[in-house]
Structure 1
Amino acid sequence: MESVRELAERTWSGADRAAIIDPFGRPGKVYEVTPGIALVSGFGLSIGIQTGDGLVVVDTSGRNHGETVVAAMREWDQSPVRNVVYTHGHFDHVGGMGAYDADALQRGYPRPHVFAHENLPLRLERYAQTAGYNATVNARQFLSRPVAPPQMVENFASARMPDETYRDSHAFEQGGVRFELRHGKGETDDHTWVWIPAMKVICAGDFFIWRCPNAGNPQKVQRYPAEWAVALREMAAVGAEIFIPSHGTPIFGNARIVQALGETAELLESLVEQSLALINRGVRLDEVIHSVKAPEHLLARPYLWPLYDEPEFIVRNIWRLYAGWYDGNPANLKPAPEAAVARELAELSGGPARLASRASELAAAGDLKLACHVAELAALAAPDDAAIHETRASILRARAASEDSLMARGIFNAAAAE
């Protein structure tokens, strides 16, 4: 098997796009990062650290891959898993805990002790309350489907709560190895990064994902780009030599770690600074999202390509954080129903079919953004017209094909399928 250092070198160079998109392939592959530390591939990685007194595990992957991940971890080390750290409450990090618990029961070991930030139980409770919605979001995002399979709903409805939580920072020792848990806001408000001083290793969760940061997801709750940048700069300052995210390959060497974290922080800081400058001028959201631009030299970095989230979505999240939901357009404060607006515009333009025809013309001319607006109006004005819906779907599929970010492609394709 190719070593994780060889994989890491290929992703760092950016020469192999596939290695960044999916470096590990199937779930259940074990890579020894350095003597005493291994990662196991899954939807999210699970990281095992040997201590001389059993294992510490950081993140557990998702429920669907939990048994596969644990079986692979056991190929590497069969000692008790004494402590587990959830870096945050997303299901691809906490969902595999049931498999670790089952493994402990089968082997006659004590159930692992789980650490997490104090906001994480609140997140899991909210997921249980909104399991249907979150499953729908993930069906769109990852499957391009408008309806979620029942198993996806169950993923959000059940997750093991932590045994112990902390607020700002916490440390524990196992087998003489010290593990320091540091809180930072970023993709979530319950995020933890783990510093292992004796090994000069950081386990970063989703603070770094080999993509443009997931700081703007249009279907998820608030993200925190300014605080995210602070956490990245704190990580860059501790002197790590090995940096292990929960998605993607590790980064080896302090100089590369400092560069990657510093430039990711710089990207977020630039988007926040530009957005706030416009917000403070009192302009509309429309002007903000079409004026703020990410520095091109940063987006060219292989670890900042907008393959999942993208800067325009981050800008919208910055607006939501600092400026609320009103977009500055008074017509949108207490709007008429979308269908009523669509019918009025259809009547003015010659009917829904004329709108659909115009949408096709715009798409043929390459203006897929405007074509999407017009096609949506046509479908809202004539919800039972199959031909109009086919026009809309074809434009949405073309729109999806033109996008780089998985989020945009997923939403457009799910809407086309719907």
Structure 2
Amino acid sequence: MPRFTLSPRGLLACLITACLAQSVIAADAPVAASPQTTASNAAVLKQLPFTDRTDYESVTKGLIAPFKGQVKDASGKVIWDIQAYDFLTKDQAPESVNPSLWRLAQLSAHAGLFEVSPRLYQVRGLDLANMTIIEGDDGLIIIDPLTMAETAKAALDLYYQNRPHKPVVAVIYSHTHVDHFGGVRGVIDEADVKAGKVKVFAPAGFMEHVMSENVYAGNAMSRRAQFQFGSLLPRGERGQVDAGLGKSTPSGGTVTLIPPTDLIDKALQTRTIAGLEVEFQLTPGTEAPAEMNLYLPQLRALCMAENATQMMHNILTPRGAQVRDAKAWAEYLDGSLARYGDKSDVLFAQHNWPTWGGERIRTFLADQRDMYAFLNDRTLHLLNQGLTPLEIADSIKKLPGSLDQKWYTRGYYGSLSFNTRAVYQRYMGFYDGNPANLNPLPPVETAKYTVEAMGGEAAVLEKMRAAMTKGEYRWAAQLGNQLLFANPDNSDARKAQAEALEQMGYQSENATWRNMYLTGAMELRNGVPPHAGTSVSVDMVRAMSPQMFFDFLAVRLDSEKAAGHDLTLNWTFEDLNKDFNLTLRNGVLTHRAGLNAQADASVTMSKATLEQISLKQLDIPTAIQKGLIKLQGNGKKLGELMTSLDTFAPQFNIVTP
């Protein structure tokens, strides 16, 4: 039966690091910054307002108790260690880090419990996201209980060590990414939820989008997230310094999920929670397909979830996701500005640090709105002139007006280059209109022809090294990619490509780009790291409906293996009193509700048995032997279906074929 691989932000990078525990350290060390990289980074100091220290004041404002320790799991293994970033205390950025990124990395290294305003607190720096704690009249409201139960518990413990011990009476999931719900069992007990003592609020569509993001493309997303978040890189001046929205994700730990009890399903909806009025603003299709902002009128506080952070966000995240709607994103930000801009004394989000003061809040929201509107409108302007995605990305060098000089619009997580291509994809798809690109050769064949046409491997390698000498690393990396896809065993090419990627990583202002470049270089030097452990979240599997289970079976199905094995199976869940029938036809698996009178076989089991099989706690023959599965009819047909399913290899190649 299938193993459910779950994606990171999707399942983000948390499950990646859970599997690999940051155990891979480069044996072949990265090179030093080249003279060209040193000069490029030095030039950044003259381009941006480094004398503006406002964010350094904001990031420490309201500090009650710093966090400088570690968080461990039940076995005693360290899953979070903020001290790994102590190297960031140096005032001057090293030559191997873009000074703008170094500045951000310093800011996000501040960890602890902070008072945002009376009755409103945040724990920052114990996970990728923030956990917000609101003191209600009769208990606590928690917004976004982090990624892991262990880090969430540590965050709540830090709060309780410094504030009165009130019970948690409500949890709010602001959106569907795992760093905003995965630690929920660290702060509440499901028994209290079932008893009605604790409410769990979420935007409409929450469970459906959690499952769709974390299961169907989960294996590929998880692998790519290792690159995006730099989860396998050593922390340091030539390694991972930040993840853009925070330091990183926990290395291991327990991802949990308690389904919401109350869904917010209106554009604007007000609820009274723990004696406080909370106005929810739904923002579907922005940073997540199901997301919502919150306004607390009694506290004059506005929570922007992940829709307005202290940087440019992603329209399409490099790990993979559905393309977001930059136009709708800008419109929702404008709605927040219009509705709450004059009524807010503090704006906080579930990443980074807050913004205080009405005028600063209004400017911040207006600038963020203008940024996403520009990404949408300028891309459309240029695509209507016939420019292709890469041409558009290369022509937009900076944001217009004063936006380019605002720290909170810099491309630390999202980037102009990636976001403009994402907008193009949303409107036009991946095809650029050139018939030569309708049916190009795949990468390996293209590489072999290209290398041959350029005079062979030695000639291409010589051209690559010449480009690197001139600091033309983008071109060098393109040449190196052709060499490696033509011959991945060329050790000189691997070394040269690693060096080119490292220089681009050192120059990158974008944290995720740096991580991707440096992870690629690490794997070229030392190979793809092995996979260990499991990427299964027990709560995620339990929360899957039977329909979702069957949908993922269809993803797992190898159509070539399944061809010629047409069948129909009835499937009954006796504890749910629900029936389904599965049809395998033309190598395609579909399902419907209800039974099919012509089915080849019938399978009867409980949902709990399905969960055990999915989690590899039980296999089908044993379940049949124990009477947990009742099989009637032609049992061979069930076997034919099961043998047609693939198990995805989690550690596939990326920088080599």
1:111/1:414 Cα in 2 relative to 1: closer, same or farther (>3 Å)?
farther
Distance across 1 between alignment mates of 2:317 and 2:403: 20
With CA pairs under 8 Å and 6+ residues apart, which has the higher RCO, 1 or 2? 2
| Shift, 1:6, TM fit | 7.5
- Any unmatched runs of 5+ in structure 1? none
Kept in 2, the 8 Å contact 1:8–1:251? The answer is yes
Q: Is 1:279 aligned to residue 383 of structure 2?
A: yes
Who is 1:166 aligned against?
264
Who is 2:187 aligned against?
100
1:21/1:153 Cα in 2 relative to 1: closer, same or farther (>3 Å)?
closer
Who is 2:134 aligned against?
49
Q: Is 1:118 aligned to residue 231 of structure 2?
A: no
TM-score by length of 1: 0.88
- Any unmatched runs of 5+ in structure 2? 1-53, 62-91, 93-98, 234-249, 524-657
| Shift, 1:374, TM fit | 0.7
Q: Is 1:72 aligned to residue 170 of structure 2?
A: no
Q: Aligned pairs, how many?
A: 405
SS at match of 1:195: strand
Kept in 2, the 8 Å contact 1:60–1:66? The answer is yes
Who is 2:456 aligned against?
351
> How big is the alpha-carbon RMSD for the aligned residues of Structure 1 and Structure 2?
2.9
| Shift, 1:58, TM fit | 1.2
Who is 1:33 aligned against?
116
| Shift, 1:219, TM fit | 2.5
Who is 1:133 aligned against?
220
Q: Is 1:397 aligned to residue 505 of structure 2?
A: no
Q: Report 1:357-396 matches (<5 A).
A: 357-396=462-501
1:202-236 Cα deviation digits (max 9, x unpaired): 11111122112233422231122111111211222
Distance across 2 between alignment mates of 1:34 and 1:6: 18
- The one-letter amino acid paired with 1:44 is A
1:88/1:8 Cα in 2 relative to 1: closer, same or farther (>3 Å)?
same
1:89/1:270 Cα in 2 relative to 1: closer, same or farther (>3 Å)?
same
Kept in 1, the 8 Å contact 2:171–2:198? The answer is yes
1:356-411 Cα deviation digits (max 9, x unpaired): 22111111111111111111001111122112111111111111111110121111
Kept in 1, the 8 Å contact 2:447–2:483? The answer is yes
Identity of aligned residues (%): 21
Distance across 1 between alignment mates of 2:59 and 2:217: 40
Kept in 2, the 8 Å contact 1:118–1:166? The answer is yes
Higher helix share: 1
Equivalent in 306, 331, 340 of residue 411 of structure 2: 306
| Shift, 1:183, TM fit | 1.0
SS at match of 1:219: coil
Kept in 2, the 8 Å contact 1:226–1:268? The answer is yes
Kept in 1, the 8 Å contact 2:230–2:516? The answer is no
Q: Report 1:311-330 matches (<5 A).
A: 311-330=416-435
| Shift, 1:198, TM fit | 1.8
| Shift, 1:260, TM fit | 0.7
Distance across 2 between alignment mates of 1:298 and 1:344: 44
1:163-187 Cα deviation digits (max 9, x unpaired): 2222323321024321011111321
Kept in 1, the 8 Å contact 2:346–2:358? The answer is yes
SS at match of 2:188: helix
| Shift, 1:281, TM fit | 3.2
1:271-317 Cα deviation digits (max 9, x unpaired): 21111112223432232222234226312112112222211111011
Q: Report 1:168-187 matches (<5 A).
A: 168-184=267-283, 185-187=285-287
Kept in 2, the 8 Å contact 1:181–1:195? The answer is yes
Kept in 2, the 8 Å contact 1:115–1:163? The answer is yes
- The one-letter amino acid paired with 1:161 is P
**Mean Cα deviation higher: 294-303 or 382-391:** 294-303
**Mean Cα deviation higher: 114-123 or 16-25:** 16-25
